[in-house]
Structure 1
Amino acid sequence: MADKKIVTFIKAWKVYSPDDVAGFDETTADALIDGKVAVEFSDPSKSKDVKAQKDQK
């Protein structure tokens, strides 16, 4: 099984809503991040980082 890159959504995309967490192949995850739809998953104890990035949109 291939490794998955975990992302946290900051905008709605397909069946995903903001704050959803999901794993994708590296190419898809990087496209979501580059498109500012998601950010790379970070430890929930650092959730302020995700909120700060959402506020920048």
Structure 2
Amino acid sequence: INVEITLTDSTRAYLASIVPGITLINNRKISFKPRDFKECYRYFMTITNICATAKDMR
């Protein structure tokens, strides 16, 4: 599984610095490769919680 999410630049850098396994890619996107859907869900919930606080998820 490969997941890509587009975010603002500040959130992107912040997430990459605190969440292991997140890679910065072009066009304001981050990418991560969970092993399964359960891990994908954990990543997504972590990202959503951080972005909800920052209020800039796109």
TM range (shorter): 0.3 to 0.5
Greater RCO (Cα-Cα under 8 Å, separation 6 or more): 2
Q: So what's the TM-score if we normalise by structure 2?
A: 0.36
Would you tell me which structure has more helix in proportion to its own residues? Answer: 2
The normalised TM-score by structure 1 is 0.36
